[in-house]
Structure 1
Amino acid sequence: MSHDQLPMTVPAEGLPARVRIHEVGARDGLQNEKTAVPTEVKAEFIRRLADAGLTTIEATSFVHPKWVPQLADAEQLFPMVSGLGGVRLPVLVPNLRGLDRALALGAREVAVFASATETFARANLNRTLDESLSVFEPVVRQARDAGAHVRGYVSMCFGDPWEGAVPLDQVVRVCRALRDMGCDELSLGDTIGVATPGHVRALLTGLNAAGVPTDVIGVHFHDTYGQALANTHAALLHGVSTVDASAGGLGGCPYAKSATGNLATEDLVWMLRGLGIDTGVDLGRLVATSTWMAGHLGRPSPSRTVRALSHEDTEEH
C-alpha cells in the first residue's frame, strides 16, 4: 500500500492518543454466516488479524451449538490460536457451562451478553431482563474467582426493533447492575444502528453520573443508517478509548432482523489514522486479510475502505 493511499494526519483537540480496537470479526462477524467456515480458516483469520497488529481479537463463543451452529467448533478453535503472544483472546460465555468449557481451555478473558430491553432479553435469552441479569451473576463471579477478565456486552442500548427508543435510565440501570456484579468492562451495543452522536454523548454522560467511569466503557456501533463512525467520534470526544469493530464489516446480530453491518475495522482505522490516533494496526495487512476472508465467504467485503484500497491496488497493477 503506497503512502498516497493513507489519509493525511491532522490531529484534533480533545481525543484519546491511543484507541484499543476490540476486533469482533471472528466471532460476531462469522456467527451470522449461512455457510459454516472451516475451523482452520477461522484460526488463520485470527492469526492474520494478529499479524496486522490487532491486540484484542474475540475468538469465539462457548454457546450451545444449537443456538449458534457456526461457532460449534469453539473447543477445536481456541487451542489453535491460544498461543498467539501478546494478543488478548476474549470469548463469549452464555452461562456457567460455557464458562467452564472456556476456562478448561485456558481462556483468560470472557464476555457475557446482556440486553438493555425486556423484549430482546426474551428473544435472545428467553428470560425477563432481571432474570437474565441474575443468570449472569454467578457466571461473572466464578469468572472473576478464576482470575479472568470479564466484559459485559449490553445490546439494544440505543433502540430496539420491538420497543423502539430505549430510555437512557434503563440502559444505565443495566450497565450499573453488570458493573456491580463485577464486570471489568462494558461494551455499549447499538444493535440496530439507530444511535446518533448526541444520543451517544447523553448516554455516556448518564453512565458517568451513575458512577460508571469512561475508562471501563467500550462502544459497539452498527452502520445500518451510516452513523457508526460519527457515533464513534462522539464517543472518542467523550474520552472513550475502546472501540469494537469487525474486520471487513462482517456480521450483524442473528436475533435482530434489522441489524446489519458492524462498523468495519478498516473504516475505523482510516479515520483514527487521519486523526493521528495510534492503534498499532497496519492498514495494508488488515485490508489484505479482509479481502482474503471475503474470498472464503464468496462475496466482496462491505467495508468502504477495503473496497477503495483493493480497487486502487488493482488499478496500480
Structure 2
Amino acid sequence: MTDRVRIVEVGPRDGLQNEAAHLSPETRIAFIERLLAAGLETIEAGSFVSPKWVPQMAGTDAVLRGLGARPGRNFPVLVPNERGFDAALAAGAGEVAVFAAASEAFSQRNINCSIAESIERFRPVADKARAAGIRLRGYVSCALGCPYEGEVDPARVVAVTVALRELGCYEIAVSDTIGVGTPDRAASLVERAADAIGIEHVAVHFHDTYGQSLANIYASLQKGVRVVDAAAGGLGGCPYAAGASGNVATEDVVYMLNGMGIETGVDLEKLLDAAEFVAAAIGRNPVSRVHRALRPAAYA
C-alpha cells in the first residue's frame, strides 16, 4: 500500500458539534485556516441543522462565507433536509452531505423518522444538488453497532449504502458512530459495501471509544479504501450514545500512514498546531496519542 489516502477532516463539524463549547464562526474559521495550512484539502465546515438542536453549528453560513471559494479545497456541510440545503446553497456551499442510519431505533431517536423516510427526505436534496452542480456525500450511521439495538445487520448497512448511492452520493462514509467495531468486522463490512457500490465510492468514519479506530482503518485500507474521515485532536463524540468518545484523531491517522509510506499531503507539525488551537478554544487537551508523544509539554 504505497499510494495516496485522502483524509476528510471532520473536526469543525462532526467534532465540534459534539463538544460542550460553542465556538464563534470567527474561531471556527481560524481553526479551518490552520487545517488548510497543514495541507488538508477536504474539511467539513459545519452543518445546517437547526441551532435549536445543534447550537454549536450556529453561524455555519458565516463560516462558509468567510472561507469563500478556494481552488482545490472543499468545504462540505451537513444538511438534514431541503430547507437545510437551501440555506447551504445561499451561503455558497459547493458540497453537501446527508446522513442515514442503519439502525431504525437510532434513526427515530436522532432524526424522528424511519430509515426509509430519511432516504425520501433526502430525495429533493439530491435533486436540487444535481441541478445546482453541487456534490453530494453520504453517511451511514451506526454501521457497526447501535446504542439501542446493539449489533446491526450488515445487510441493512449495505442496503442504506446502496440507497444513498442511488440518490447520487458520489461517496458514502461507512460510519462506526459509537466506536464499537473491530478490524475483522470493519473489513468484512467494507468488502460488502464495495461489492455493492464499488470501492471508489466507499469511505470510512470511525470513532475511538474502544481504541479500535486505527486498527479498523488499517483493515479497511487492506480492502482498498482510500478515503478516511478523521478529526484533529480527536474532537467529538455522539450525544445519543453514552460513553462514545470522539472521532479518530487526524494526527494519529497521519502518523500511521506516514509510517506506511502512504501519501496524505498533510504536514504533521502544522496539524498538531491546529489541534492545539482548537483544544485551547474549547478548554481541553487534544486526546490524540501522537500529540501527547510529540508535544508532552502541552500536558504538563
Say whether residues 1:209 and 2:195 are aligned partners. Answer: yes
2:19 aligned residue? 33
User: Post-superposition shift, 1:94?
Assistant: 0.6
Residue from 170, 194, 203 that aligns with 2:180: 194
1:199–1:314 distance in 2 versus 1, CA, 3 Å: closer
Aligned position for 1:269: 254
- Structure with bigger gyration radius: 1
Task: Name the counterpart of 1:222.
Answer: 207
> Is contact 1:16–1:236 with CA below 8 Å preserved after alignment?
no
> 1:314, CA displacement in angstroms?
9.4
2:279 counterpart of 1:294: yes
Runs of 5+ consecutive residues of structure 1 not aligned to the other structure:
1-14
Quote the offset at 1:160 in angstroms.
0.3
Q: Work out whether residues 250 and 264 of structure 1, in 8 Å CA contact, stay in contact via their aligned partners in 2.
A: yes
Q: How far 1:74 moved relative to its partner?
A: 1.1
CA distance, structure 2, for counterparts of residue 314 and residue 184 of structure 1? 41
Determine helix, strand or coil for the equivalent of 1:87.
coil
1:95 and 1:186 map into 2 onto residues whose CA distance is 17
Do the aligned partners of residues 123 and 16 (structure 1) sit closer, same or farther apart at CA in structure 2, a change above 3 Å counting?
farther
CA distance, structure 2, for counterparts of residue 203 and residue 252 of structure 1: 22
The residue identity in structure 2 corresponding to 1:241 is R
Query: Residue 180 in 1 paired to residue 163 in 2?
Result: no
User: How many percent identity over aligned positions?
Assistant: 52
Distance 1:209 1:171 in 2: 13
1:11-30 → structure 2 map (5 Å cutoff): 15=1, 17-30=3-16
Paired residue type of 1:239:
G
Bigger mean CA deviation after superposition, 247-256 or 281-290: 247-256
Q: Specify the alignment match of 1:70 in structure 2.
A: 56
Which amino acid in structure 2 is aligned with residue 219 of structure 1? V
Give the whole-Å Cα distance in 2 for the aligned partners of 1:208 and 1:246: 24
Q: Cα RMSD between the aligned structures? A: 1.5
1:281 aligns with 2:262: no
Residue number in structure 2 paired with 1:305: 290
Q: 1:103 offset after TM fit, Å?
A: 1.0
C-alpha separation between the residues in 2 aligned to 1:150 and 1:313?
39
Long gaps (5+) in structure 2? none
| Letter in structure 1 aligned against 2:254 | V
2:233 to 248, 264, 268: 248
The one-letter code matched in structure 1 to 2:230 is: A
Quote the Cα distance in structure 2 between the aligned partners of 1:290 and 1:90. 20
Query: Residue in 1 aligned with 2:106?
Result: 120
The question of whether the paired residues in 2 share the 8 Å contact of 1:82 and 1:89 is answered with: no
8 A contact 1:26–1:58 mirrored in 2 = yes
| CA-CA distance at 1:16 after TM superposition | 5.3
Note the alpha carbon deviations across 1:190-230, whole angstroms, 9 max, x for none. Answer: 011111111112112222333x1001111000110010000
Partner SS, residue 301 of structure 1: coil
Q: CA offsets per residue over residues 251-301 of structure 1, 9 Å max, x none?
A: 012232232121000000000000000000000011011112211111111
Q: Measure, in 1, the Cα distance between the counterparts of 2:2 and 2:198.
A: 15
**Residue 39 of structure 2: SS of its match in structure 1?**
coil
Q: How far apart, in 2, do the equivalents of 1:194 and 1:222 lie?
A: 8
Equivalenced residue count is 300
Q: What's the TM-score once normalised by structure 1's chain length?
A: 0.92
Partners of 2:24 and 2:91 lie apart in 1 by 20
Cα distance in 1, alignment partners of residues 130 and 244 from structure 2: 32
Does structure 1 retain, via aligned residues, the 8 Å contact 2:194–2:202? no
Q: Which residue of 1 aligns with 2:218?
A: 233
Distance (Å, rounded) in 2 between the aligned partners of 1:100 and 1:16: 41
TM-score, length-scaled by structure 2: 0.97
Equivalent pair of 1:57/1:90 in contact (CA under 8 Å): yes
Q: How far has the Cα of 1:34 moved from its partner?
A: 1.6
Three-state SS of the structure 2 residue aligned to 1:188 is: strand
Question: Match for 1:47: what amino acid?
Answer: E
